[in-house]
Structure 1
């Protein structure tokens, strides 16, 4: 495959300027995997041969897998048993692991942060306790299965907090900070080496990030890494290069302002636009190497194995046959 000039320049600059000790984090959230497999979806390598997804991702340079945890999902997908099954496969394939706690029975994102059904009547103090125990018990279950994640997210895309209404940040930042600390303390009680991530969407929005992390800092919240989502085709006018630059500027500011590491934990681009998808991923990986003080950890793609518009999602890295598009090759850079 012929690489364009932009890609060549990105690779060259990556080799010149990436001098940090640890390898760049390159990976994917594949939480839908077991559900897709049960539905009969199959996955293929570049040669069109059916192959386990983890092997294909490893062959394309990935080293990290992210998995979401829901408290009591109606259909069982993303509960701790499902997470353990996927985590075992990821570990066996040689991946590091990032666990993403939603603290909900289903999706938690900027538009909804719904408390689990069993927690609906709890006081705020009970919510803090349940965040601690849910986090701790889930990680202990993973540990008992021989798995210790390298990173843990306390909340998912918490642009306005979590566990609404009590944890809505715009109404009570202190409550949200205390919920974050409940999760943070639970993680460290399992293993002090696990790094805790606080995750927001809209990486291009510096004012959002400053508002949130200033508020958390001022209320005594603890975190190790700032996580970000970026979906260029769904933000602004879809100008991925401009949005990438805004995201970089924001993350560099986060490092300078708070001294913490940063990671892009979600990115997605249209599967049927592999050129722009490839260039977006390559650009973001390169930008991570330019983050001040070597604190840019890396980039994770959201559900790259999705194809045939699974669950209405069309931002995967596979064509409708389940074979990777060449955009997945971007993770081979560096």
Structure 2
């Protein structure tokens, strides 16, 4: 995710692929008997911004106002996994192998699993941006395929060698239109499949017990998911989990997301995880940047932009995951819950003066205190 414009065209240009079966009956959005009375396996948070935020002076406090290590705060709240994005050669020197290794040690000491999110870019990769790393600019498709393998193996191998192997890995981020453009865009599925297979192979070669995720945005768009995964499966791409981004202000209704998750888990025989979601605790901004969520018209009915409304949204998303038939909803992950406002920690890795348009969607308030939604996320039980 980033400050985004969502690519939707990719979902409407399907290639000729085999039909894998009819859609199953849509599940209710309330937790089914199969999904109830259990804790979700994955109750995660993306904390990619944490090292840079801390370097720029950010502090984090428990709900009672006492200052504490944010990793310890998350562990105490019941967070099971921390998601960390990986860029190849970012301009600011963050979100790369050098930065994630010490953070991984902190996480493992706290008992939090590691979820690596490869972007295969020097900056944000999302439905509208999948920019090739500068160092890979002159590579042909065979060279890019090898670069994907080597980069993936390098990062995951370093994590394993220091005793902090990754538990989950995404091969690409929000892959609606492919990755490593233009060679791996949605018009070149053979190339895209080769890149995905290279990353998946590297993950399994370096970390045999790792579980792999392929992740799209627009979690309420069943047509997109069928088009994309039909192509991937037809081309022999082998993965473990389907990841979805589901933001209610961009990605359709809860009912649409529920129907999509019920369909894709049955159609492909794979569990799913809501890899990204978020909701504001206020519509105010702490800096001069106009926040992504800034108007009442963007809110989901029944969920006000308050700490309580944010927590209620997290409960609703957890219910959504728990309701996937046959226990195939593994859980959910909150995107960038620690990205509070700090000067120098803006969205653009090439511009230290860029602002943060996300701080009113964090799970720490403008006084750096943990919000109720953090405990809702970590302690959920269906």
Q: Same fold (TM over 0.5)?
A: yes
Partner of residue 204, structure 1: 220
Shift of the alpha carbon at 1:329? 2.6
Structure 1 runs not aligned, ≥5 long: 1-11, 237-242
- How far apart are the structure 1 equivalents of 2:34 and 2:204? 36
Q: Would the aligned equivalents of 1:24 and 1:297 in 2 still touch at CA under 8 Å?
A: yes
Shift of the alpha carbon at 1:333? 1.9
Partner of residue 250, structure 1: 260
Counterpart selection for 1:318 from 347, 364, 371: 364
Q: Does 1:260 align with 2:270?
A: yes
- How far apart are the structure 1 equivalents of 2:91 and 2:194? 28
Q: Does 1:142 align with 2:189?
A: no
Shift of the alpha carbon at 1:19? 6.0
CA offsets, 1:163-220, max 9 Å, x none?
Answer: 0000001x11121111110101111111222111001011011111111001111111
Q: Would the aligned equivalents of 2:63 and 2:370 in 1 still touch at CA under 8 Å?
A: yes
Matches within 5 A, 1:46-65: 46-65=63-82
Shift of the alpha carbon at 1:293? 2.2
Partner of residue 333, structure 1: 380
Q: Does 1:18 align with 2:64?
A: no
Partner of residue 286, structure 1: 319
Q: Would the aligned equivalents of 1:271 and 1:318 in 2 still touch at CA under 8 Å?
A: no
SS at match of 1:312: coil
How many equivalent residue pairs? 315
Partner of residue 128, structure 2: 111
Q: RMSD of aligned C-alpha atoms?
A: 1.9
Q: Would the aligned equivalents of 2:34 and 2:327 in 1 still touch at CA under 8 Å?
A: no
Shift of the alpha carbon at 1:234? 3.9
SS at match of 2:361: coil
- How far apart are the structure 1 equivalents of 2:76 and 2:248? 26
Counterpart selection for 1:89 from 100, 106, 115: 106
What stretches of structure 1 move > 4 A for 4+ residues in a row? Answer: 12-17
CA offsets, 1:264-318, max 9 Å, x none?
Answer: 1111111312233212211121222221222211111011122248622132112
SS at match of 2:274: strand
Structure 1 stretch displaced more, 244-253 or 25-34: 244-253
Q: Would the aligned equivalents of 1:233 and 1:270 in 2 still touch at CA under 8 Å?
A: no
- How far apart are the structure 2 equivalents of 1:297 and 1:139? 23
In structure 2, do the counterparts of structure 1 residues 13 and 132 end up closer, same or farther at CA, with 3 Å as the change threshold?
A: closer
- How far apart are the structure 1 equivalents of 2:34 and 2:259? 21
Structure 1 stretch displaced more, 244-253 or 194-203: 244-253
Partner of residue 350, structure 2: none
Which structure carries more helix by proportion? Answer: 1
Matches within 5 A, 1:28-177: 28-169=45-186, 171-177=187-193
TM-score (norm 2): 0.79
In structure 2, do the counterparts of structure 1 residues 254 and 17 end up closer, same or farther at CA, with 3 Å as the change threshold?
A: closer
Structure 1 stretch displaced more, 251-260 or 281-290: 281-290
TM-score (norm 1): 0.90
In structure 2, do the counterparts of structure 1 residues 182 and 306 end up closer, same or farther at CA, with 3 Å as the change threshold?
A: same
Q: Would the aligned equivalents of 2:277 and 2:334 in 1 still touch at CA under 8 Å?
A: yes
Structure number with greater CO (CA < 8 Å, separation at least 6) is 2
